[in-house]
């Protein structure tokens, strides 16, 4: 009989986990507390406690070719960077294509997940759920995949802001922000310059009388598009680049990157200057921030020192009066209240995980946590690989090393990140994109063998090595191999171009192209012969 696996959540991580269960012969039962798939990408007018929540205008920062599931490219006509509604549409297409919906119990919340008394033998879990009518049910599962998301617990560090209790205006977290309508004509301070802080400040600056963006440490700002208007990740996330940059000293790389970003817009001049070197922390992605600063509608400010009623005093001594609202874009914490407390092993209530997936303390590796990571690339393909690995471990097809070895690897990973992220909980989340994907892929046996590919199928090999590290690379061979992967790699740039081909532009006719090529080639030969005419007899050994 197939092993039964509980999948908690039907966001992008939950959907791929259901599919991976099916691929490995497991029987998935997914519990989703909302009434739809898509998780945080499904926009809701009002935030709900304990659930993720986004603003109306959110657009994915990862290009479609880099964020798609490895055996299901985003339709070619979809834009390269999708609005949240389209992202959900894509997830629905995936769910329908692989018949995943029938495995999902909507409006059913997981209340608790506990090891059964015979766990050390059976590896089984007792899962308690509550459905839409408040009916509680207890189920037994052979495995659990936690796909409950990270962005559920907004952090508002009110105690860091003396006098905040005297502020008469609105105070919210970005988790509650939906659109700029309530702030029309107002004076707003946005605190924090992560991706959300940048997006929200830009959006508000078009509606507010004035928008102030306050930051303690600044940030490196990079656009979604780079040279020739191509998507950032598709040009940057390549194996060749990783290999080449790996050979260069980090200080030199920092210098090159910072110089290149400062040439687009001088971060010091724009008040964005970061306290960190560019490679030490995540950059923020924003196409419009410098433009809004340039027109004066968005004003960069230092850290808020204190509030005095509706007056805000900043660290540099400057004062802004008559502030109507403060929006904290100060990030999130994560919590899995349904898991046993024993799994939260870190000092800060964090869950320590081997390769960011398995708690090493479990006697049997039958519970895995999906998507608990941060990286400079797209999260979705990383989670898909996690799910492919975790389902194989639960199915008994892959095995984990002994607990002591896993602990050592966890410690080593955290230590490597502590320099950039002094908070151990944050440090534990960071992974380098391609190396992380490859580490998991090697365990599953699906990491592309570049040398072999270059010999056997150079067209694909060259694209895998020099081109973007698209998820299809992990479907070329091994378990879960997909016949369409080769073609998907060969056509990945066509799908980038397709949505932009909205205005026919005539190609130069082949006659005129050949004519000019022929003419210039001929002229070059005549010119070379004339220049060498004295040497030719000598060269040809003619008297």
In the complex, the residues that contact ligand FAD under the rule CB under 6 A are: 8-14, 31-34, 39-40, 51-52, 54, 58, 60-62, 67, 109-110, 147-151, 196, 338, 371, 378-380
Q: How far is the CB of 129 from ligand FAD (least distance, A)?
A: 7
> By C-beta, is 88 or 453 nearer to ligand FAD?
88
In angstroms, the CA 40 to CA 329 distance is: 17
CB of 104 to ligand FAD, least distance (A): 10
Give the nearest distance from C-beta 335 to ligand FAD in angstroms: 10
| Kind plus residue range of the DSSP H or E element containing 261 | helix 250-264
Question: Tokens 């799908």 correspond to what residue?
Answer: 495
CA distance 415 to 82: 36
Nearest-Å Rg of the Cα atoms of the chain is 27
Q: How far is the CB of 494 from ligand FAD (least distance, A)?
A: 22
Nearer to ligand FAD by Cβ, of 295 and 341: the residue is: 341
CA atoms of 175 and 46, how far apart (whole Å):
10
Judged by CB, which is closer to ligand FAD: 127, or 485?
127
Contact (CB, 8 A) for 285 and 223: yes
Q: Which of 431, 185, 432, 204 is nearest to 329 (CA)?
A: 204
Closer to ligand FAD by Cβ: residue 123 or 198: 198
Shorter beta-carbon distance to ligand FAD: residue 29 or 379: 379
- Helix 239-247 vs helix 433-444: angle between axes, to the nearest 10 degrees? 120
The CA distance from 327 to 331, in Å, is: 12
Identify whether the C-beta of residue 116 lies closer than 8 Å to the C-beta of residue 140: yes
Q: Least distance in Å: CB of 66 to ligand FAD?
A: 8
What is the smallest separation between the CB atom of 50 and ligand FAD, expressed in angstroms?
7
Contact 60, 81 (CB under 8 A): yes
| Helix, strand, coil tally for the chain in percent (to 5) | 40, 15, 45
d(CA 386, CA 372): 10
- Of 123 and 154, nearer to ligand FAD (C-beta) is 154
Question: Shortest distance, CB of residue 87 to ligand FAD, whole angstroms?
Answer: 8
CB of residue 13 to ligand FAD, shortest distance in Å: 3
Alpha-helical segments (H) within 395-504: 403-418, 424-427, 433-444, 450-456, 458-466, 485-490, 492-497
CA 530 to chain centre: 59
As measured in angstroms, the least distance from the Cβ of 195 to ligand FAD is: 6
The smaller minimum CB distance to ligand FAD, of residues 67 and 304, is found at: 67
Q: How far is the CB of 130 from ligand FAD (least distance, A)?
A: 9
Q: How far is the CB of 388 from ligand FAD (least distance, A)?
A: 15
Of residues 437, 431, 428, the one with CA closest to residue 384: 437
Positive or negative CA dihedral for 525, 531, 533, 537? Answer: negative
* CA atoms of 67 and 378, how far apart (whole Å): 6
CA distance 163 to 165: 5
- In the bound state with ligand FAD, the residue whose beta carbon lies nearer, of 271 and 340, is 340
In this complex, which beta carbon is closest to ligand FAD, that of residue 148 or of residue 312? 148
Expressed in angstroms, the distance from the first to the final Cα of the chain is 92
> Which of 161, 433 has the CB closer to ligand FAD?
433
- Which of 28/39 has CB closer to ligand FAD? 39
């Amino acid at each position: 009989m197939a092993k039964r696996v509980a999948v908690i959540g039907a966001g992008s991580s939950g959907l791929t986990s259901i599919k991976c269960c099916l691929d490995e012969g497991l029987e998935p039962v997914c519990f989703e507390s909302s009434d739809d798939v898509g998780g945080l990408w499904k926009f809701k007018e009002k935030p709900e406690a304990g659930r993720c929540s986004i603003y109306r205008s959110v657009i994915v920062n990862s290009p479609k070719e880099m964020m798609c599931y490895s055996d299901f490219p985003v339709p070619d006509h979809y834009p390269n960077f999708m609005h949240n509604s389209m992202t959900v549409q894509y997830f629905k297409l995936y769910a329908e294509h692989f018949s995943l919906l029938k495995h999902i119990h909507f409006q059913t919340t997981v209340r608790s997940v506990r090891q059964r008394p015979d766990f050390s033998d059976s590896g089984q879990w007792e899962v308690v759920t509550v459905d839409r009518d408040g009916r509680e049910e207890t189920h037994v599962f052979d495995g659990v995949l936690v796909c409950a998301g990270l962005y559920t617990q907004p952090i508002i560090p009110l105690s860091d802001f003396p006098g905040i209790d005297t502020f008469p205006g609105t105070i919210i977290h970005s988790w509650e922000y939906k659109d700029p309508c309530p702030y029309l004509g107002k004076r707003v301070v946005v605190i924090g310059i992560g991706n959300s802080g940048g997006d929200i400040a830009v959006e508000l600056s078009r509606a507010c009388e004035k928008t102030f963006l306050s930051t303690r440490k600044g940030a490196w700002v990079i656009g979604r598009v780079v040279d020739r208007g191509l998507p950032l990740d598709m040009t940057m996330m390549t194996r060749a680049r990783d290999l080449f940059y790996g050979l260069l000293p980090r200080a030199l790389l920092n210098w090159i990157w910072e110089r290149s970003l400062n040439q687009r817009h001088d971060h010091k001049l724009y008040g964005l200057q970061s306290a960190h070197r560019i490679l030490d922390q995540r950059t923020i992605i924003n196409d419009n921030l410098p433009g809004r600063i340039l027109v004066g509608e968005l004003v960069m400010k230092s850290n808020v020192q204190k509030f005095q009623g509706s007056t805000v005093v900043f660290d540099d001594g400057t004062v802004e009066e008559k502030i109507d609202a403060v929006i904290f874009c100060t990030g999130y914490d994560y919590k899995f209240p349904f898991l046993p407390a024993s799994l939260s092993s870190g000092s800060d209530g964090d869950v320590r995980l081997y390769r960011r997936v398995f708690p090493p303390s479990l006697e049997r590796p039958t519970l895995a946590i999906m998507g608990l990571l941060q990286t400079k690339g797209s999260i979705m393909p990383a989670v898909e690989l996690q799910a492919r690995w975790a389902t194989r471990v639960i199915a008994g097809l892959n095995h984990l090393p002994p607990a002591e070895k896993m602990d050592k690897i966890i410690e080593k990973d955290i230590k490597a990140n502590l320099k950039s992220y002094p908070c151990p909980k944050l440090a534990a989340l960071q992974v380098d994109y391609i190396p992380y994907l490859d580490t998991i892929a090697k365990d599953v046996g699906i990491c592309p063998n570049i040398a072999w590919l270059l010999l056997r199928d150079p067209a694909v090999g060259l694209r895998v090595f020099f081109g973007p590290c698209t998820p299809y690379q992990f479907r070329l061979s091994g378990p879960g191999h997909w016949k369409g992967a080769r073609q998907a790699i060969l056509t990945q740039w066509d799908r980038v171009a397709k949505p932009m081909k909205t205005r026919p532009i005539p190609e130069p006719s082949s006659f005129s192209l050949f004519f000019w090529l022929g003419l210039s080639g001929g002229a070059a030969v005549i010119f070379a012969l004339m220049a060498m005419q004295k040497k030719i007899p000598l060269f040809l050994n003619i008297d």
